[in-house]
Amino acid sequence: MFLVTGGAGFIGSHTVALLLEEGHRVRVIDDLSSGHLQNLDGFDVEFIKGSVSDPRAVAEAMNGCSNVIHLAANPSVPGSCEDPVAYDTTNVHGTVVVFEAARREGVAQVAYASSSAVYGSSEEIPKRETMRVAAESPYAAAKAADELYAQSYSRTLGLPCVGLRYFNVFGPRQDPNGPYAAVIPKFVERALKGQPLLVFGDGDQGRDFVHVSDVARANVRAATCACTGGKVYNIGAGSMTTVNQLVRYVQSTVAEVPVEFRAERAGDVRFSVADISEAGADLDWTPQADFDAGMAETIDWYRRALS
């Protein structure tokens, strides 16, 4: 039995779908603060509504599970700057609660979501796992803390924990609503509605966009591989696209809408692209999704959703 925390969310629901395709039994715990039950429509899963910061709910969800994929988190860099305490409660305390419940249950391995945000604004590219952590937002600090807890559980407390530093994940079911939504769904939704694309900063900042299907494969590999507990791996496409390039792509494929430039947001990173060689070597993982095909699938999903 696999437990997926945050399994009703964007990345979580795609991970659940892949586990079911591979024949695994799956249980999900999600407080539905950002996830949606409709993301699990048609999936044969056990569902528990609860928060990862609640030890009783997590212990109930962990009962009988052999592997864990821990994805539940508050996901926004700007949001963490507005409410650091809430982000600490869910993203740090909640992660320790999950690790401890997994240890007590005798779980074989935990894969957990970290973030490329831990690299900060270093101009060195590509980002390598050996680089110094330089958290520049409470969100990044929380993810860095999760990595340290994972090391301690792996090296001292007998629970192998494997971390994945996601870069910019995109694909169907990503929620474009709210002021801190990821750039691709927000751009696509606004273009479909004929609204201007909002760019924070000059638009020359670069991002590594990786399709959610590749991230789901990485999650499952990290939860089941014979790799060293306590390690972290970059999960990205290994290539960089600027926000301005993305603007032109959306204008040419969705709608020729105008652009509005806004002030740069606190905590945003200037350039981000992954060195993914370690994930290839240890997890036998490389991205397979083509960017154009993934964008076409994503745009089509949003067209259907908005209609």
pLDDT per residue of the chain (307 residues) written in tens, 0 to 9: 999 999 999 999 999 999 999 999 999 999 999 999 999 999 999 999 999 999 999 999 999 999 999 999 998 888 899 999 999 999 999 999 999 999 999 999 999 999 999 998 888 999 999 999 999 999 999 999 999 999 999 999 999 999 999 999 999 999 887 545 689 999 999 999 999 999 999 999 999 999 999 999 999 999 999 888 899 999 999 999 999 999 999 999 999 999 999 999 776 778 889 999 999 999 999 999 999 999 999 999 999 998 8
* pTM for the model: 0.95
* pLDDT value, residue 178: 57
Residue 260 CA: distances (Å) to CA of 191, 245, 263, 300: 12, 15, 10, 24
* pLDDT value, residue 221: 98
In whole angstroms, what is the distance from residue 143 CA to residue 116 CA? 9
Q: What stretch of H or E contains 247? A: helix 243-253
Angle among Cα 56, 61, 66 to the nearest 5 degrees reads 130
| Other CB atoms within 10 Å distance of the CB of residue 29 | 27
* pLDDT value, residue 15: 98
Burial of 64 (C-beta count, 10 Å sphere; 0-12/13-18/19+):
exposed
Q: Checking DSSP bridges between strand 2-5 and strand 197-200, what pairing results, if any?
A: unpaired
* pLDDT value, residue 177: 76
Q: What stretch of H or E contains 59? A: helix 55-62
- Kindly report, residue by residue over 35-56, the tens digit of the pLDDT: 999 999 999 999 999 999 999 9
**DSSP structure class, residue 37:** G
| Other CB atoms within 10 Å distance of the CB of residue 220 | 21
Distance of CA 265 to the CA centre of its chain: 20
* pLDDT value, residue 57: 98
For the question of residue 87 being annotated catalytic, the response is no
* pLDDT value, residue 267: 62
Point out the catalytic residue in the list 139, 149, 166, 233: 139
What backbone torsions phi and psi does residue 232 show, to the nearest 5 degrees?
-125, 150
- Kindly report, residue by residue over 223-263, the tens digit of the pLDDT: 999 888 899 999 999 999 999 999 999 999 999 999 999 99
The sign of the dihedral angle between the CA atoms of 228, 164, 6, 140 is positive
Residue-wise DSSP of 90-152: IIIIHHHHHHHHHHHHT-SEEEEEEEGGGGTT---SSB-TTSPP---SHHHHHHHHHHHHHHH
List 164's β-bridge partners, or say none: 113, 233
2-167+213-235: CATH class: alpha beta
What backbone torsions phi and psi does residue 142 show, to the nearest 5 degrees?
-65, -45
Q: What stretch of H or E contains 206? A: strand 206-207
